[in-house]
Amino acid sequence: MSKKSLIILSSILLSVITLIIVLFGVVFCLRRQYVTVLGDQPIVSLIKNDAGQTTKQNLSGEDIIKAAGLKNGKPIFMLDKQKAINNIQSRYPMVKVVQIKTKSVISVEIIVRPRQETYYILTEDEKYTVTAQRYCIMDEELMAMDGELCTDQKPERLNGLVELIIDDSLKDQQQSSTDTGEYFAQPAIRSITSNLYNSFCSTVVVEDGKVVADKTKTPNATRQDFISIVKSVTLKSPKTDHQELNTLVKDEINLSLAVNLNGKDITINIKVAQKDLQYKVNLCFNTIANYFESNPEGTITTFNCGYDDQHNIKITY
């Protein structure tokens, strides 16, 4: 092939590549964004007035889209969705972004829901004394949703939520208070409570408010099932000495769950590494449901889930 032919061929190839790039930029670029809100509750933002009081203001889809920061005209496959999620949740802490989904070569769907009250924590060492205590209500990711002082009575609104208790072995990891719209300060604790909640909802089968041990059925537990069954979660260090909490994400941690399972008050003690938590939650609830299905009058109230000498997962009771 002559030099002239090579030049012509190269020019044609360059023109084709340029045309493809131009078409890609024109055809496969973001033109439409829309918001889907899950549930029947409005999406709200917390607004602080000059007096420091917090009020709630309903948000529109346009508010969510603006906060996401996704620019129309940008190639659809180059969008930074995680950054958009962070942008929304940073601007509006009471919003949980479930997913940002590519719907077509020109559109995305931002799926959001209001954060839901799940846990609460008392931020003083002594509970329910005549001295005023502060409680904080949080969702499963420990985003503070509300909180105020209480005295000698447990506020009625805490009934039906899961109490989060930080054991003395981790007391130095606690904090005195969490402002509404802010995360509980310790990422490791947030990781554990969120993992526990998601593990329950993704592995447990519930029928008519009762956990059933039927492996043929698809797990269907909801937030309402979680807060109805689990009464409290106590976090303990597996070490006798104080250790950095962040190491517990990789290391083991002890969880003690007080649950009302199918009408029976049960304590579930779990010694777990984070990577095994989902499997252990599934194993614990299925084992307990199986036990009471086989022994309706069974009197065992404590189940322990840990490891044997070969580090295999086992349950004893």
Q: How confident is the model at residue 19, as a pLDDT? A: 62
Q: Of 70, 94, 114, which residue is a domain's last?
A: 114
Residue 306 lies in a domain: yes
Q: How confident is the model at residue 251, as a pLDDT? A: 59
Q: How confident is the model at residue 125, as a pLDDT? A: 45
| Domains in the chain, number | 2
Residue 223 lies in a domain: yes
CA angle 281, 89, 104 (to 5 degrees): 90
Query: Residues of the chain with pLDDT > 90: what percent?
Result: 27
Distances (CA, A) of 191 to 140, 213, 230: 10, 27, 18
Same domain, 130 and 258: yes
Same domain, 91 and 161: no
Residue 13 lies in a domain: no
Residue 197 lies in a domain: yes
Same domain, 267 and 150: yes
pTM: 0.77
Same domain, 168 and 301: yes
Residue 11 lies in a domain: no
Q: How confident is the model at residue 20, as a pLDDT? A: 61
b/e code 137-157 from CB counts within 10 Å (16+ = b): bbbbbbbbbebeebeeebeee
Same domain, 187 and 272: yes
Q: How confident is the model at residue 128, as a pLDDT? A: 45
Q: How confident is the model at residue 69, as a pLDDT? A: 93
| Ranges of the chain with pLDDT below 50 | 125-130, 242-243, 249
Q: How confident is the model at residue 106, as a pLDDT? A: 87
CA distance 166 to 175: 10
Same domain, 46 and 181: no
Residue 107 lies in a domain: yes
Same domain, 132 and 197: yes
Same domain, 103 and 126: no
Residue 23 lies in a domain: no
Range of the domain at 184: 119-316
Q: How confident is the model at residue 263, as a pLDDT? A: 86
Q: How confident is the model at residue 93, as a pLDDT? A: 86
Residue 146 contacts residue 214 (beta carbons within 8 Å): no
Residue 123 lies in a domain: yes
